[in-house]
Amino acid sequence: MVKGFSDNEVKNDVAIEESKKEKKGLAAFLKGKKFTYTLPGKKQINIFGSIVLGLNLILVLLVILYLKNQEFHDFVFNVGR
């Protein structure tokens, strides 16, 4: 006998029958639908990467401007009220 295995079989038919019950709600709606996911192409990855990096750069510049320029700090403070 191989270690970790038993000669006796375990019957789990009850658990299998319970899981075959009819699905409800969103699962029932999506049962017949076929959805496929495709990975984004290189061009799409470059576009989204450029957008994210550009927005991060703008955020860093605005934070630096907020900390260094008193007029911009006052503008942000007054608009935030």
Query: What pLDDT digit, counting tens, does each position of 5-22 carry?
Result: 666 665 555 555 555 666
Per-residue pLDDT tens for 44-74?
A: 999 999 999 999 999 999 999 999 999 999 9
Which residue blocks in the chain are alpha helix, DSSP H?
13-19, 26-30, 42-68, 70-79
Spatial distance between the Cα atoms of 47 and 53, rounded to a whole number of angstroms:
10
What pLDDT does 71 receive? 94
Give this prediction's pTM: 0.52
Confidence of residue 31 (pLDDT cuts 50, 70, 90): confident
